[in-house]
Amino acid sequence: MAILHTVVFTLAHATGSPEEARFLEDGRRILTGIPGVEDFTVREQVSPKSDLRWQFSMRFADQAAYDAYNAHPAHVGFVEQRWTTEVARFQEYDFVDHA
């Protein structure tokens, strides 16, 4: 069963800053290089109802692909070296299609 993995987040960086742009670009480059990542997108929140500004989303064919992504050294490194220091707040959502 396919999994849609999403994280919605706010960065510690100033809006429009080079650091913000670099984080988003590096996230796209690093995470799309991991086998099993499909349909990677970066979206910006435009609703005033949420203060979480950005979203990364991606699909995985199945649980095994998702588990391999989570354990992949590039993902672990991105989380440890970038995510934990540059993301101020986040929520993670993982979905499967409802029959």
Looking at residue 99, its pLDDT comes to 76
- What is the pLDDT at residue 23? 98
pLDDT score of 3: 98
Query: What pLDDT does 54 receive?
Result: 98
What are the start-end ranges of the H helices in the chain? 18-32, 63-71, 73-78, 84-86
List, for the chain, all residue ranges whose pLDDT scores fall below the cut of 50.
none
Question: What's the CA gap between 32 and 18, in Å, rounded?
Answer: 21
CATH code assigned at 17: 3.30.70.100
On whether the pTM is more than 0.75, the answer is yes
Whether the Cβ atoms of residue 51 and residue 88 lie closer than 8 Å to each other: no
Burial of 98 (0-12, 13-18, 19+ CB in 10 A): exposed
Question: Considering its fold, how many domains does the chain have in total?
Answer: 1
Query: For residue 88, what pLDDT is reported?
Result: 98
Range of the domain at 53: 3-95
3-state SS, residue 34: coil
Euclidean distance between CA atoms 4 and 71, whole angstroms: 17
